[in-house]
């Protein structure tokens, strides 16, 4: 799909607006590097002592630069509006479609960050903590809806494959396939 096709999908746009809202840590209506640095720091606080803080910080900086800012140079003054983000995300997703293994690898890293007990599955509690890190507040209803949308086999835990598949579909599909519509960040905001 082209950036224009993604942007013409009301479901995809609502997904991206939901992500934008969740990632806007300070709720100032723009995404900044400090939002992503705050999330990286919160993730680090959940990790055990063997985690690699610089790798986690770099993961979030890269996500901000390559998806949110569209590959442009970023610094502490970079502020991305929702409209800019939508265009940048559509372009980034279009580019990443040709290398799905990159998206899969990034999602595997996120899976491992969330699976804090290293069981190979994400529990409902682990996922709730993950969403609370992003949004800055615990919302059990939102977390339960998000968790249930990804736990497609209904086992009460999210496998690595369910997690990756759910996130890949959220970002890379236009939403026309209603048989599986994952909501990893919770219910979609009104578009």
Q: How far apart are CA 54 and CA 122, in angstroms?
A: 24
Per-residue confidence at 191, pLDDT binned at 50, 70, 90?
low
Q: In this predicted model, what pLDDT tens digit does every residue of 72-81 receive, in sequence order?
A: 999 999 999 9
**Concatenated DSSP letters of 105-126:** HHHHHHHHHH-TT-SSEEEHHH
Please tell me the distance from the alpha carbon of residue 137 to that of residue 131, in angstroms, as a whole number: 8
Predicted confidence at residue 101, as pLDDT, reads 85
pTM of the model: 0.90
Give residue 50's pLDDT band: very low, low, confident or very high (50, 70, 90): low
Residue 114 to residue 85: CA distance in whole angstroms: 25
Which among 19, 21, 25, 18 has a CA at the least distance from the CA of 40?
25
Contact 22, 130 (CB under 8 A): no
User: Minimal CA–CA distance to 64: which of 89, 101, 27?
Assistant: 89
Gap between the Cα atoms of 133 and 131, Å rounded: 5
Query: Where do the domains of the chain lie, and which CATH numbers do they carry?
Result: 3-172 (1.10.238.10)
Instruction: With beta carbons less than 8 A apart as the criterion, state whether 151 and 158 touch.
Output: yes
Which whole number is the average pLDDT over 28-55? Answer: 87
Report how far residue 120's alpha carbon sits from residue 179's, in angstroms, rounded to the nearest whole number: 26
Q: Is 177 a residue whose pLDDT tops 80? A: no
């Amino acid at each position: 799909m082209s950036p224009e096709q993604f942007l013409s999908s009301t479901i995809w746009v609502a997904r991206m607006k939901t992500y934008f809202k969740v990632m806007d840590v300070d709720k100032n209506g723009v995404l900044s590097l400090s939002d992503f640095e705050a999330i990286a720091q919160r993730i680090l606080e959940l990790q055990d002592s063997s985690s690699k803080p610089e790798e986690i910080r770099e993961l979030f900086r890269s996500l901000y630069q390559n998806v949110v800012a569209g590959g442009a140079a970023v610094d502490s003054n970079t502020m991305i509006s929702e409209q800019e983000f939508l265009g940048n995300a559509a372009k980034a997703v279009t580019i990443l479609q040709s290398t799905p293994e990159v998206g899969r690898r990034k999602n595997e890293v996120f899976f491992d960050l969330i699976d804090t007990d290293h069981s190979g599955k994400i529990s409902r509690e682990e996922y709730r903590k993950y969403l609370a890190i992003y949004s800055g507040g615990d919302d059990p209803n939102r977390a339960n809806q998000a968790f249930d949308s990804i736990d497609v086999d209904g086992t009460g835990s999210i496998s690595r494959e369910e997690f990756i598949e759910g996130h890949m579909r959220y970002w890379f599909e236009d939403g026309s396939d209603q048989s599986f519509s994952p909501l990893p960040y919770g219910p979609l905001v009104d578009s």
